Amino acid sequence: MPTQESENMTDSSDNAIWRQGRIWISAVAVITAFIGWLVYDTMMAPEWMRNFSLEMTARATIVSDRSKETAFSTMRGRAEPDSPYICFTALAAFDWDRVFFVPPGGPISQPLAELDWIGAEVTDLNTRLGSDPRYQLIAFEDDGVVVEHDYYFTIWADLSALGRPAGFGRAEAVFVAESNGTTFIVEPISPLSSNSCID
């Protein structure tokens, strides 16, 4: 017959096991949440990039294809585009003066490389651009500081025609996209019309 002392020891060991289990479960939950946040932060494109992709897809239908099979037909709740112009001022809702596009292979142009890159190293970015032809870079500058940058994959669109060293000011950042059946090809428009975009 179990004694009071052995029952107390069993209760204590059960409580210790329960406490240890709770600690492990809490630790696993915290680690899982942290890893989930890192994956989300790394994998989720910023809003301006998602807007760019949607605008490119929608507006390329005007230039390339008006059939019901185009990707635009699946975009619920978006107004039918009224022009082929992709206006970057409407896509990136933060302060910026110039937008730069770095084509696959790089390198980052001197005017862009000389800006203040907070939290990023130009050499690291150039290494990635040079080592993998899938990468293109889009960077926004405001008052000498790169305020936003991210990679844009070549499987989504070819931005090579936008790779001019001086980038594009807000009034110049107006583009058109065409589909070649595999990917989108984005080009600047020239000459700019005064009513291409409203800033």
**Based on the number of CB atoms within 10 Å of its own CB, is 11 exposed (0-12), middle (13-18) or buried (19 or more)?**
exposed
Q: What is the pLDDT of residues 134-179, one digit of tens each?
A: 889 999 999 999 999 999 988 889 999 999 999 999 989 999 888 8
Q: What is the pLDDT of residues 85-101, one digit of tens each?
A: 888 988 888 999 999 99
- φ/ψ of 192, rounded to 5, equals -75, 135
Q: Give the pLDDT score at 69.
A: 47
| pLDDT at residue 56 is higher than 90 | no
Helix (H, G, I), strand (E, B) or coil at 115: coil
Tokens 């990468």 -> residue: 135
Give me the residue spans of the domains in the chain. 1-44, 46-188
Extended strands (E) in 36-97: 86-87
Share of the chain above pLDDT 90, in %: 22
193 DSSP 8-state letter: P
- φ/ψ of 47, rounded to 5, equals -60, -40
Structure tokens at 132: 């993998």
Look at residues 101, 118, 110 and name the one whose alpha carbon lies nearest to residue 52: 101
Q: Give the pLDDT score at 164.
A: 92
- Is residue 71 within 8 A of residue 57, CB to CB? The reply is yes
CA–CA separation, 179 vs 53, rounded Å? 13
| pLDDT at residue 41 is higher than 50 | no
Q: Give the pLDDT score at 20.
A: 65
Structure tokens at 65: 């294809």
- Is residue 152 within 8 A of residue 141, CB to CB? The reply is no
Q: Give the pLDDT score at 76.
A: 46
| pLDDT at residue 70 is higher than 90 | no
Q: Give the pLDDT score at 131.
A: 87
Q: Transcribe 29-42 into DSSP letters.
A: HHHHHHHHHHHHHH
Please report which confidence band the pLDDT of residue 194 belongs to, taking 50, 70 and 90 as the band edges.
low
